[in-house]
Structure 1
Amino acid sequence: MKQLKLSVLALLALALCNPLAQAATPEKGLAKKPWQTLFDGKTLTGWHTFQKAGQPVSEKWAVEDGAIHFTGGRGAGDLVTDKEYGNFELEIEWKIAEGGNSGIIYHVNEDPKYKATYQTGPEMQVLDNERHPDAKQGRDGNRTAGALYDLQKPITPNAAKPAGEWNKARLIINNGKAEQYLNGKKIAEYPTSGPEWDAMVANSKFKGWEGFGKFNTGKIALQDHGDQVWYRNIRIREL
Structure 2
Amino acid sequence: MKIISLTFILMVFGGFAMAQNDESMQMKPEMTEIWDPEVSVITPGEKPSDAPSDAIVLFDGTDLGREWTNGDGAEPGWLVEDGCATVKAGTGIIKTKRVFGDVQLHIEWRSPSEVKGESQGRGNSGVFLQETYEVQVLDNYNNRTYRNGQAGSLYKQHAPLVNACKAPGEWQTYDIIYTAPRFNEDGTYFTPPTVTVLHNGVLVQNHVKLRGPTEYIGIPEYSVRKHGKGSIILQDHGNPVSYRNIWIREL
TM over 0.5, shorter chain: yes
Seen in structure 2, the aligned counterparts of structure 1 residues 174 and 65 have a Cα distance that, compared at 3 Å, is same
TM-score normalised according to structure 1 size:
0.70
User: 1:56 aligns to what?
Assistant: 75
CA deviations on 1:15-67 (whole Å, 9 max, x unpaired) are 69xxx83149xxx54667811100132111110011x11x2332xx0111111
1:21 to 31, 34, 53: 34
Give the whole-Å Cα distance in 2 for the aligned partners of 1:31 and 1:159.
33
User: 2:167 aligns to what?
Assistant: 162
Q: Choose 1 or 2 for highest CA Rg.
A: 2
Seen in structure 2, the aligned counterparts of structure 1 residues 215 and 31 have a Cα distance that, compared at 3 Å, is farther
Q: Which 10-residue stretch deviates more, 123-132 or 225-234? A: 123-132
1:232 to 244, 248, 251: 244
User: 1:126 aligns to what?
Assistant: 137
Q: Which has the higher contact order (CA 8 A, sep 6+)?
A: 1
Seen in structure 2, the aligned counterparts of structure 1 residues 183 and 77 have a Cα distance that, compared at 3 Å, is same
CA deviations on 1:65-92 (whole Å, 9 max, x unpaired) are 1111124x3x211000001100000001
Does the Cα contact within 8 Å between 1:37 and 1:236 map onto a contact in 2?
Answer: yes
Does the Cα contact within 8 Å between 2:151 and 2:160 map onto a contact in 1?
Answer: no
Alignment of 1:106-185 (within 5 A): 106-108=129-131, 121-130=132-141, 135-137=144-146, 141-155=147-161, 157-174=162-179, 176-185=193-202
Q: Which runs of 5 or more structure 1 residues have no equivalent in the other structure?
A: 1-11, 109-120
Does the Cα contact within 8 Å between 1:201 and 1:207 map onto a contact in 2?
Answer: no
Paired letter, 2:135? M
CA drift of 1:129 comes to 1.2
User: 2:49 aligns to what?
Assistant: none
CA drift of 1:205 comes to 3.3
2:105 to 85, 90, 102: 90
Paired letter, 2:54? P
SS in 1 for 2:136: strand
SS in 1 for 2:148: coil
Q: Which runs of 5 or more structure 2 residues have no equivalent in the other structure?
A: 1-27, 43-52, 116-121, 181-192
Q: How many residues align?
A: 192
CA drift of 1:95 comes to 0.2
CA deviations on 1:142-177 (whole Å, 9 max, x unpaired) are 11111111111212x211111111101011113643
Give the whole-Å Cα distance in 1 for the aligned partners of 2:98 and 2:231.
6
Paired letter, 1:150? K
Q: Percent identity?
A: 32
User: 1:105 aligns to what?
Assistant: 128
CA drift of 1:216 comes to 4.7
TM-score normalised according to structure 2 size:
0.67
Give the whole-Å Cα distance in 2 for the aligned partners of 1:78 and 1:201.
16
